[in-house]
Structure 1
């Protein structure tokens, strides 16, 4: 095997880090899902959508930007946005600069829902993650995960991949 070929195995340290990442992600996601259901009858994805819009200028984003940011399929996003729209938490409309573009906007009820679930969400994250590590560890965790996230984001998300190119590669 030449030095340029990627390794097909993980060493013990890499394997331990991978399993820790997976387990922590699963444990945190499970607890967060429960908190969001109890506090606001929201799924994790729905909360992500509301929170993403809450941080967006004017509380609006294009559907494709939301799909890429939350890492959800276009059809999954359409379904979730429909549920949140029927609940009065979001509104859909045509993009001002593109008649084919669809904008999603957080409503006042959506902001209120975020306000209701956010304090418990923050308290849970503090209890589960941040109280267990020190301030320097928080900085290190953010730095390391940021590097991995940026690396993963360097490849366009699936929702941004052309359907024609995807179907051509299947043939």
Structure 2
């Protein structure tokens, strides 16, 4: 088999997976917008924070929801402005920002969860318990294989051609982590 090409079976499975994920994601977005006026990414952030024992760093949050740093910073800003989360500099690491869910954020998460579960049932209703277990096993292997690569937050940032550091200068800007 050529490693650069997918077999027809693999290609078919890939497209069915992508279509199913897109359809489910669309339904989830509709439910969250209608019931809570938040996006699925914002819901994921609230879910992670609601389940955390305390504050987490923005980097941990980005790795957990698999989202870019800049996109996460924007989404966290919207949630903070709405009073659903708090952000503050870490006292232990000047590069880190700590994030926590507020009572209002936890309440919104709890209010949205039943509708979210109802939409998520669309994935599980046509499956048998054995199908669900097999799906969990397969997707866990896929996730673990994909996560074997370093998280995006650990990847070096690309330098722009106009950066002082790229031009040999010592000045470096710090971004939220």
Instruction: Note whether the superposition's TM-score is higher than 0.5.
Output: yes
Give unpaired runs (5+ residues) of structure 2: 161-165, 167-177
> How many corresponding residue pairs?
161
Give the Cα–Cα distance (whole angstroms) in 2 for the partners of residues 27 and 160 of structure 1. Answer: 31
Which residue of 133, 136, 149 corresponds with 1:155? Answer: 149
Q: Tell me how far apart the structure 2 counterparts of residues 55 and 74 of structure 1 sit (CA, whole Å).
A: 21
Distance, in Å, in 2 between the alignment partners of 1:75 and 1:13 is 37
More helix by share: 1
- Cα displacement string for residues 25-68 of structure 1 (whole angstroms, at most 9, x for unaligned residues): 1001000000000110010110010001111112x210011111
The residue that corresponds to 2:96 in the other structure is 101
The two structures have a TM-score, normalised by structure 1, of 0.88
Shift of 1:96: 3.7
Quote the Cα distance in structure 2 between the aligned partners of 1:20 and 1:154. 25
RMSD: 1.7
Task: Name the structure 2 match of 1:146.
Answer: 140
Where structure 1 has 5 or more consecutive residues not aligned to the other structure, the ranges are none
Is 1:29 the counterpart of 2:25? The answer is yes
* Residue 55 of structure 1: aligned partner: 51
Partner of 1:88: 83
Match of 1:41 among 37, 41, 44: 37
Confirm or deny that 1:122 pairs with 2:114: no
1:10 and 2:22 aligned: no
- Quote the Cα distance in structure 1 between the aligned partners of 2:66 and 2:125: 28
- Of the three residues 126, 145, 152, the one matched with 1:132 is 126
